Amino acid sequence: MRRTVDWVDGAIVIIDQVALPGEYRTLTLRTVTELVEAIQRLAVRGAPALGAAGALGVALAAYAGDVRGERTADVRNRQAADARNDAGHTTDIRKEARRIARARPTAVNLAWGVQRALDHLHQGPAAVLAEAKAMLDEDERRNRAASEAAAEVVLSHCGRRPLRLLTHCNTGHLATVAWGTALGVVWHLHERGLVESVLVDETRPLLQGSRLTAWELERAGVPYRVQADGAAASAMARGLVDCVLVGADRIAANGDVANKIGTYSLAIAAAYHGVPFVVVAPTSTVDESLATGADIAIEERSNSELTEFAATQIAPDGAHAFNPAFDVTPAQLITAVVTEDGVRTPKS
């Protein structure tokens, strides 16, 4: 599969995650406005993929600002104009970068990716782009390493072979530049013949599990079943789950983890049933500036994601919705948080 997010001929090219699983197609984003819109309607989503998209977005803004700067610099008092333009278009590019970073608030990777690219702005657009491209390469390397380490953690906590795993949301190739985090663990274990099956939470309300994770597992030939999110605790009670594997959108300094809504209930159920609960993420998802998960900004999305289904109204006229996109799982409920730098075991 091509990279989820890439730079092709001066534009950002993404796999359109809204069209899947019906259609596998790409979208070309040529402006910051197009990128912000794609991020907000989840055409590109998943914390590591958002980091990459954010960095490439700064490159888009930097090249656009550079073109405007050159045009206006063609006047008599060249030096003064250059100074004015430099300050002016740098400010404009920074404003555009802020717009990208704020497109979604919870996954720290987005603001992190934007800032890393922005740190190279003083060297010009080519340097910004080079940094963003390096981040794309890094993303796959880091996620492969984190998920390989997490596979060992899973094997050390679970005696049964082959394994029956449960996952929430989409943490695969599509949520990263390539490979995946929690689903990356499934790829590693499947390569070794160690996966019996995967239970895939459909992940209400936007169905990243049944639309995207199921699509990736189907392509990879990994046996799986989609289940309603509400079935997860019951699957654990029946002894059908050896380990729960999830990704993260932001990990606070104390090990609390923000991830897709429903993760917290999964962790409670897993703790109750003695099922290991493993979080896998690149270090770019760790936010040491926040002491605990209580400080993490949780994105609230529109009513219609719950009051409508496939554009058909399913709730009464005037129904209000509670629609947080993420929740926070306290560190005490987590068996291990695994990044490419190592394993943290908050529970013990």
Binding residues for ligand MRU (CB under 6 A): 42, 45-48, 107, 169, 171, 175-176, 181, 208, 247-249, 259-260, 325
Give the residue numbers annotated as catalytic, written as ranges: 249
**What whole-number distance in Å separates Cα of residue 348 and Cα of residue 344?**
9
Q: Which residue is nearest to ligand MRU (CB)?
A: 247
Q: Phi-psi region for residue 107, left (φ > 0), alpha (ψ -120 to 50) or beta?
A: beta
Please, how many CA atoms are within 13 Å of residue 322, restricted to the half-sphere of its CB? 2
Tallying the residues shown for the chain, one arrives at 348
CB of 257 to ligand MRU, least distance (A): 10
DSSP string for 2-19: --SEEEETTEEEEE-TTT
According to DSSP, the residues that pair with 328 across neighbouring strands are 258
Q: Phi-psi region for residue 20, left (φ > 0), alpha (ψ -120 to 50) or beta?
A: beta
Closest CA to 5 of 40, 54, 41, 64: 54
CB of 340 to ligand MRU, least distance (A): 13
Q: Is 283 helix (H, G, I), strand (E, B) or coil?
A: helix
CB of 229 to ligand MRU, least distance (A): 13
Contact assessment for residue 38 and residue 63, using Cβ atoms and an 8 Å cutoff: no
CB of 143 to ligand MRU, least distance (A): 8
CB of 3 to ligand MRU, least distance (A): 14
Q: Which residues contact 245 (CB under 8 A, 6 or more apart)?
A: 150, 154, 165, 166, 167, 171, 182, 183, 185, 186, 278, 280
**What whole-number distance in Å separates Cα of residue 3 and Cα of residue 143?**
14
According to DSSP, the residues that pair with 342 across neighbouring strands are 339
Give the CA angle between residues 302, 41, 319 to the nearest 5°: 20
